[in-house]
Structure 1
Amino acid sequence: MTPAPDKGVRPAPAGRIVIENCAVATVDARDTEYATGHVVVAGGVIEAVGAGPAPDGLADVVRRIDGTGHLATPGLVNTHHHFYQWLTRGLAQDSNLFDWLVELYPTWARIDEPMVHAAASGSLAMMVRGGVTTAMDHHYVFPRGAGDLLGAEIRAAAELGVRFTAARGSMDLGESDGGLPPDFAVESTEEALRATEEAVDRYHDASFGSMLQIAAAPCSPFSVSTELLREAAVLARRKGVRLHTHGSETVEEEKFCHEKFGMGPTDYFESTGWLGEDVWMAHCVHMKDSDVAAFGRTGTGVAHCPSSNARLAAGIARVPDLLAAHVPVGLGVDGTASNESGELHTELRNALLVGRLAGGEKALDVRKVLRLGTYGGAQVLGRAAETGSLEVGKLADLVLWKLDGIGHSTIADPVAALVLGAAAPVTLSLVGGVPVVEDGRLTRVDEDAIAREARDQARRLARIAGLA
């Protein structure tokens, strides 16, 4: 069993970090940018940001960084993931969502605590190395006797030093009750609710700068009973935590909801208490105008996962329409069994390209998608007052991207270079002022050891599941 973490914020680092001579994209309310600017970090928060060099006379400067040739941005925020799927990448390569799930559920039902820790470490390592400072995971598969799976993820996030929202997922609607997952892969309604409440009580930290928060996250309309959805919403609001699920991902889901409930997914979610400012849903691809309006009216958020949606041929989310309706929208990697790269910074480019395929050349621009990946994600996770933009008083979660190399040096606009160019190297990534990446390498863990352990656990899972 994973020891419960101490409540409260990680101790703030002593002294000041000064970053100068870099381009700065603050992603504040005015999209303020500086062609050459500075950021000063003190006590784990941003003390100053502005044009030109840092103010003279700063005391206790422990590190001064020349950011020439770099762009400073807020750290990226991942709003949807399934870490355990790191061990099953490259399978079911040519399937839609329902066929993909049916093929992989029997394998996923054999995961255990060592596998989940290895998978979470691999998933987080790829994201953090690519500029993610706040991650989340939606874990909903809990085989009996598998150990402390949620704790394994939480341990991995702490080891890498990333800010983390653990969405305690659940499934209670097995195949014999009309659901999609096999019966052996689901919990009872009572078990799921009890475990979710225990996770909140044990782990959730609502304080400013918290490194760990919990969300209540029944999986999807086709794997969860109406009772579990309703009771999870009641539980989450009683405990003051957020709610997360999958919604409107595929045409098959739309058909399932109409056949089983007599209404589409959005209306069904609203009937169960699942629209509101404390809710965000993954995908939201197949939405009518009335659905978009309902999300805007209620402040329900969306995790946009363009690569996964394309991999499973789910469709293209109406992101410009959602933004026009004032819906909070962030970006998500989604599980790496449907987005094998496992990187969020590539989703910036993919969101732009996919959005323009659906809506034309002005549907999205580079700054809008940078906002999706930073401030939008912080909104979706309920943390926009703390992170997601470079502003005085906010957490020092920031990334320094190297843009003077061969992949980017001829793109004059640094934000365009980051979004449209090749995946940019990360020279420095800070979480609360603490370096988690230096010169493209993770600072707190051994990347090679993570790769070896993930490979070994993937092979063990394949053997157990009869795939090898």
Structure 2
Amino acid sequence: MHAPATPIDIDLLIEARWIIPVEPAGQVLEHHAVAVRDGRILELLPSDQARQRYRPGQLRTLGDHVLIPGLVNLHAHAAMNLLRGYADDLPLMRWLTERIWPAEQKHVSHDFVRDGTLLACAEMLRGGVTTFSDMYFFPDAAAEAALEAGMRAALGVVVLEFPSAWASDADQYLSKGLAVRDRFKHEPLLHFTLAPHAPYTVSDATFERIRTLAEQLSLPIHMHVHETGEEIERSLSEHGVRPLERLHRLGLVGPELIAVHAVHLDEGDVALLARQGASVAHCPTSNMKLASGASPLPALIAAGVNAGLGSDGVASNNRLDLFQEMRHAGLMAKLTSGDAAALPAEQLLHMATLGGARALGIEHETGSIRPGKSADLCAISLDEAETRPCYSPLSHLVYAAGREHVTDVWVAGIARVAQGNLLHLHNNELKARARLWQNQVAL
């Protein structure tokens, strides 16, 4: 007879009633466990086997919970948490020109961005988001906030042709943003993108420079594209082609492109995105709130376009809530396509996790529960009256549960939320900072 094997020492063992690893697609495991060592997933296996094989420094047993990969918010303007509810009930261009841009010109600073991003990180972590892709000024301040919160972030090197408190012209936006990347590029939780604001705010010459930098530095290009009908008309008037075709001619439509919103697409646009391997960041709540329109998401998915979900900023959404985005994306797709089978729950969870990670080029690191990946994980309780009975935990994640049911969140194996409570950020301090900024902005 062989002697029993000596248990392997690990840092953390998480047992759950259900685990949905996202890879392979559609799999729902019952009574399984995730073994974590040095911040990475060591193994996913049945709970009874895990108890015999491993000796964890910490054991977390989740009763009627579902464990999923941490959610990936593919498009946010995190610091705009300080402008929540500031410019409601306006269409996009009036929202920008009459309210948002003037407020930003007056108030945005390093401290504004740091405090606003910290507030956003607290909201996202409590809602199960472990990674966010940000597009805003002062990315150095956003980096400091993300590191303090212990979140994974892809920070955009924002580019515009007009001045702001951060930079005076496109050259300075690029030089300052790339200097931030150089400063933080060795931080394992931080990633970077090139983030030209939109085709209507960036020149051809700047786009050509961005294309070269993307190729040289292997960085994604994160950009608002085809958000409104007005944007299409303006491009046709000024350039003679639709914005996506203009970007294509400039060499920017490829696997590195994350086309944010992508609402007003015709069949040629969809085919171009699919053929070139681009990704789309779908922001259904913001698109509805600004009356921008409904993205042809089912057609994009059918064509093979990779898609993730984004919240946009809270000034045009009011919540950084990926559960809401999954639900709204699914319901909008069914409504606009006339097909009740459009975008099933499995596809929506993929968009909120692995789809976003793939768009950012970090799918080797996060987005699914697989050995070798970072232990970015989220636990959701399905043990409440409003989540009973539960015939399908996958369905419940989209159609019944919400961010209020998130109990535990880990980033790189470190607990950031436990039993619904933030562990490394202090609510009273965050609320005090929010009050101070509210008093300034409201003047």
* TM tier, smaller: over 0.9
What's the CA shift string for 1:339-374, capped at 9, x where partnerless?
102222221111111111111211111111011100
Counterpart residue type for residue 168 of structure 1: V
State the partner residue of 1:225: 203
* C-alpha displacement of 1:185: 8.9
Counterpart residue type for residue 273 of structure 1: G
* C-alpha displacement of 1:262: 0.6
Q: Does 1:434 align with 2:409?
A: no
Q: Does 1:211 align with 2:189?
A: yes
State the partner residue of 1:172: 161
| Residues 64-143 of structure 1 aligned to structure 2 (within 5 Å) | 64-103=59-98, 104-110=100-106, 111-139=108-136, 141=137
DSSP 3-state at the match of 2:90: coil
Deviates more, 1:307-316 or 1:357-366: 357-366
Counterpart residue type for residue 382 of structure 1: G
State the partner residue of 1:327: 305
* C-alpha displacement of 1:220: 0.7
State the alpha-carbon separation in 1 of the partners of residues 71 and 371 from structure 2.
18
State the partner residue of 1:316: 294
Please tell me whether the aligned partners of residues 139 and 177 of structure 2 are also in contact (alpha carbons under 8 angstroms): no
State the alpha-carbon separation in 2 of the partners of residues 54 and 339 from structure 1.
44
Change (3 A) 1:264 1:17: same
Please tell me whether the aligned partners of residues 365 and 373 of structure 2 are also in contact (alpha carbons under 8 angstroms): yes
Larger helix fraction of residues: 2
Q: Does 1:447 align with 2:442?
A: no
Q: Which runs of 5+ in 2 are unaligned?
A: 1-8
Q: Does 1:24 align with 2:45?
A: no
State the alpha-carbon separation in 1 of the partners of residues 396 and 304 from structure 2.
27
* C-alpha displacement of 1:240: 2.2
* C-alpha displacement of 1:186: 6.9
State the alpha-carbon separation in 2 of the partners of residues 403 and 30 from structure 1.
21
DSSP 3-state at the match of 2:156: strand
State the alpha-carbon separation in 1 of the partners of residues 49 and 308 from structure 2.
31
* C-alpha displacement of 1:52: 4.5
Q: Does 1:235 align with 2:231?
A: no
DSSP 3-state at the match of 1:374: helix
Please tell me whether the aligned partners of residues 16 and 66 of structure 2 are also in contact (alpha carbons under 8 angstroms): no
State the alpha-carbon separation in 2 of the partners of residues 416 and 169 from structure 1.
37
Please tell me whether the aligned partners of residues 203 and 214 of structure 1 are also in contact (alpha carbons under 8 angstroms): no
State the alpha-carbon separation in 1 of the partners of residues 298 and 351 from structure 2.
11
Please tell me whether the aligned partners of residues 115 and 454 of structure 1 are also in contact (alpha carbons under 8 angstroms): no
State the partner residue of 2:383: 404
User: 4+ residue runs of structure 1 moved beyond 4 angstroms?
Assistant: 183-186
Change (3 A) 1:226 1:291: same
Please tell me whether the aligned partners of residues 34 and 50 of structure 1 are also in contact (alpha carbons under 8 angstroms): no
DSSP 3-state at the match of 2:295: coil
Counterpart residue type for residue 129 of structure 1: R
Please tell me whether the aligned partners of residues 285 and 318 of structure 1 are also in contact (alpha carbons under 8 angstroms): yes
Q: Does 1:277 align with 2:255?
A: yes
Counterpart residue type for residue 117 of structure 1: R
Q: TM-score, normalised by structure 2?
A: 0.93
State the partner residue of 1:384: 363
State the alpha-carbon separation in 2 of the partners of residues 438 and 381 from structure 1.
27
Q: Which runs of 5+ in 1 are unaligned?
A: 1-13, 142-148, 175-182, 464-468
State the alpha-carbon separation in 1 of the partners of residues 116 and 395 from structure 2.
32
DSSP 3-state at the match of 1:386: coil
Please tell me whether the aligned partners of residues 23 and 37 of structure 1 are also in contact (alpha carbons under 8 angstroms): yes
Please tell me whether the aligned partners of residues 138 and 168 of structure 1 are also in contact (alpha carbons under 8 angstroms): yes
What's the CA shift string for 1:127-174, capped at 9, x where partnerless?
1110011112101x4xxxxxxx22211111011101111012121058
Q: Does 1:339 align with 2:291?
A: no
State the partner residue of 2:373: 394
State the partner residue of 1:373: 352
Q: Does 1:263 align with 2:241?
A: yes
State the alpha-carbon separation in 2 of the partners of residues 30 and 330 from structure 1.
15
State the alpha-carbon separation in 2 of the partners of residues 22 and 298 from structure 1.
41
State the alpha-carbon separation in 2 of the partners of residues 402 and 310 from structure 1.
29
What's the CA shift string for 1:36-57, capped at 9, x where partnerless?
3221112211111134534343
1:244 to 222, 226, 240: 222
* C-alpha displacement of 1:184: 8.5
State the partner residue of 2:143: 154
State the partner residue of 1:36: 31
Counterpart residue type for residue 130 of structure 1: G
State the partner residue of 1:7: none
State the partner residue of 1:179: none
State the alpha-carbon separation in 1 of the partners of residues 251 and 185 from structure 2.
22
Counterpart residue type for residue 98 of structure 1: M
* C-alpha displacement of 1:16: 2.7
DSSP 3-state at the match of 1:79: strand
* C-alpha displacement of 1:401: 0.7
* C-alpha displacement of 1:94: 1.9
* C-alpha displacement of 1:397: 0.7
* C-alpha displacement of 1:91: 2.8
State the partner residue of 2:440: 460
Counterpart residue type for residue 104 of structure 2: W
Counterpart residue type for residue 66 of structure 1: T
* C-alpha displacement of 1:461: 2.8
Please tell me whether the aligned partners of residues 170 and 186 of structure 1 are also in contact (alpha carbons under 8 angstroms): no
Please tell me whether the aligned partners of residues 305 and 331 of structure 1 are also in contact (alpha carbons under 8 angstroms): yes
Please tell me whether the aligned partners of residues 157 and 174 of structure 2 are also in contact (alpha carbons under 8 angstroms): no
State the partner residue of 2:341: 362
Deviates more, 1:185-194 or 1:258-267: 185-194
* C-alpha displacement of 1:35: 2.8
Counterpart residue type for residue 42 of structure 2: E
* C-alpha displacement of 1:194: 1.6
Counterpart residue type for residue 199 of structure 1: V
